[in-house]
A and B are shown apart, each in its own frame.
Chain A
Amino acid sequence: MRTLDWMVLILSLVTIVGYGLYRGRGSGTIQSYLLADKSMPWWAMGLSIMATQASAITFIGTTGQAYVDGMRFVQFYFGLPLAMIIISATVVPYFHKARVVTAYEFLEQRFDAKTRLAASIIFLIQRGLGVGLALYAPAVVLSVILGWSERVTVLIMAGVVVSYAVPGGIKAVTWTDVQQMMLIFLGILGAFFAAVWLLPSDVSFGDALYLAGASGRLNAVDFSLDPNNRYTVWSGLIGGMFLALSYFGCDQSQVQRYLTGKSVGHSRTSLIFNAIVKVPLQFFILLTGAMVFVFYQFERPPMLFNKTAETRMEQTFEQAGDGLAGVQYQAALQQYNEALAKRRDTAYRLLEARRNGSTGANPGELQDANRAVEAARREGITAVELAGDGRPYDDTNYIFMTFVTTYFPVGAVGLIIAAIFAAAMSTISAELNSLATTSMIDIYRRHFHRGATDRHYVLIAKTATAFWGVYAAVFAFFGGRLGSLIEAVNLVGSLFYGSLLGVFVLAFGFPSVTGTGAFTGLVVGEIAILLTSWLTGISFLWYNVVGCVVVVATGLVVSRLSRSWFR
């Protein structure tokens, strides 16, 4: 980071805080603090919804994913437009008509207090873990890339978010989301054009696509029916739709965005905006990752993208030269360098053959060369894991940032880092805001202190926002010690979403279902998801389908039985 980069980053952060404070002024009532007086236009809500979903890891991880695995991850988003249509047609008018502040408040109107409480607690657990991770994951990556302490990056992000989310409430959160999303768009566009521009002068964009395709990195669509294949058109359309239905329809961090709409039409349009933009946007981010992959066909990529791990391995070799891990690492490094040189030659020969229409090289050779590079890198990673007592090593999230900080021109690095901070903060602020809202509306006001003044409730909501901010920072401080628990946290969303969705499907779609039926369905559905997770190897995208179906079936059966018993 040079002076200009620092200036871009600091200016971005200061502008975000200043703008958030300016927009959030006058939020003195509950309606204003939590629902922005229902004054938001569709485009602000639409960008806020998108910014909330796009975490920093989505940004840097997705490009890394395309580098490692190609573009098939785009299929994960195929179900999103369908979910947006369903939510827009059903959930949005119901929530507006019910005049609720949280999605779970609606469950009490429709069923009973215990169903509302259970759903609120599930949300608080799940989103509470999520916000810690949303802060921790990018903090780790940024700390390694920038050479700062993890605690510094955590404190910067948490401090900035809390400074505008606490005083300004949802107005501040939504308007800064708009600004942050524009910064993210700018970052993505800049990264894509820089990746193409940085290719060798004799390699055109068409050549880059050809090489990416020959290396299996442009595999955007897969129609196979294998349920263990995580990303296919079917898992994306069906599993992805259920996941998106759960996230956008039942998760307060998203529901609260579109509840601030001026009208049902504005709320609906904000969702439709996401239905139109999200899939092409993800495609574009993944294509950027594929371009980074092609770029590294001609430039030497590090064997380990995590600098800390690389330094540790070099020290391991220097300190205990004949130690197994160190020797294995050095051998892998030599093998890796040789494989890279061979791959670069093959790529050039392949392009030459393509241009001349000759048979001087064929794509199979490039695929073999890629496999050789990957095999050498895997050897190196095995050595890292050996040195780290078997702890798994994954540097997917470091690939894009390594590329940016090593090759981008001055100023552009600051812009990308600012975009990543923005992506992290937009997610965290919306999550803090929704956690505080549920804590205050569904727990505090409903169960502990009814009938107080607006001023009192706004104070509690502000305190709750600050509390969740501190909680997220503490979680992130100790994130490194959680080890594999972090991976488990990633799964948590999928473990809870399906059953939450099932309860809302019962609420909206089945007028005959009783509170007891819905509550029993929620419990049985949750057990079914946990059993599916433990006993089968199916992709997590299907958990939502399983949970939702079990909740609905159980809810219907129990409601019917309970009615016949009482008759």
Chain B
Amino acid sequence: MPRDLIDDKPPFLNTWGQLYAAIVGYLFFLIGLFYAFTRAYQISP
């Protein structure tokens, strides 16, 4: 395999598929966190 086509392992987790799934989970965690933040400080009269 040519040098620039070597596909290293992801920096964490075992496969790229697992890493992508973790990133999707992380994104939805962030959206949930931001939603909780919005609700916590959404102060109505």
Give A contacts to B, CB under 8 Å: 38, 42, 74, 78, 81-82, 84-85, 88-89, 93, 96-97, 99, 209-210, 212-214, 218-221, 223, 233, 261-266, 268-269, 272, 275-276, 279-280, 283, 362-365, 367
Contact = CB atoms under 8 A, between A and B. Distances in A.
A348 B42 CA distance: 19
A272 B23 contact: yes
B23 A212 contact: no
A279 B4 contact: no
Nearest to B7: A264
10 tightest A-B CB contacts, nearest first: A213-B41, A364-B45, A265-B8, A220-B34, A264-B7, A218-B41, A221-B35, A214-B43, A263-B6, A363-B43
A219 B42 CA distance: 7
B38 A81 contact: no
B5 A263 contact: yes
Contact of B3 (A89, A223, A263, A280): A263
A265 B40 CA distance: 40
A357 B24 CA distance: 41
Given A88-B16, A221-B38, A96 B26 contact: no
Contact of A263 (B4, B10, B37, B45): B4
B5 A218 contact: no
Contacts of A99: 4
Contacts of A365: 45
A221 B4 contact: no
Contacts of B30: 279-280
24 contacts: A38-B3, A82-B24, A85-B24, A88-B20, A93-B7, A97-B5, A210-B41, A213-B40, A218-B37, A218-B38, A220-B34, A221-B35, A221-B38, A223-B35, A233-B31, A263-B7, A263-B8, A264-B5, A264-B8, A269-B11, A275-B23, A276-B26, A280-B30, A363-B44
A38 B4 contact: yes
A82 B38 contact: no
B45 to A, nearest CB: 3
A272 B10 contact: yes
Contacts of B44: 363-364
Nearest to A70: B38
A372 to B, nearest CB: 15
A16 B16 CA distance: 35
Contacts of B26: 81, 276
Nearest to A35: B4
A93 B16 CA distance: 13
A362 B44 CA distance: 9
Contacts of B40: 213
Of A84, A85, A93, most buried by chain B (CB within 10 Å of CB) is A85
A328 to B, nearest CB: 31
Contacts of B7: 93, 263-265, 268
Contact of B16 (A212, A268, A276, A280): A268
B10 A269 contact: yes
Contacts of A89: 16, 20
Nearest to B19: A272
Nearest to A42: B11
A212 B41 contact: yes
A147 B38 CA distance: 39
A363 B45 CA distance: 5
Of A82, A210, A265, A367, most buried by chain B (CB within 10 Å of CB) is A265
Contacts of A261: 4
B30 to A, nearest CB: 6
A32 B34 CA distance: 43
B24 A218 contact: no
A367 B20 CA distance: 42
Contacts of A82: 24, 27
B15 to A, nearest CB: 11
A81 B10 contact: no
Contacts of B16: 88-89, 268
A209 B44 CA distance: 14
A540 to B, nearest CB: 22
B21 to A, nearest CB: 9
A283 B30 CA distance: 10
A564 to B, nearest CB: 37
Nearest to B26: A276
Given A212-B41, A213-B42, A268-B16, A85 B10 contact: no
Contacts of A275: 23, 27
B29 to A, nearest CB: 11
B5 A367 contact: no
Contacts of B11: 42, 269, 272
Contacts of A263: 3-8
Given A82-B24, A88-B16, A213-B43, A221 B34 contact: yes
Contacts of A38: 3-4
Contacts of B31: 78, 221, 233
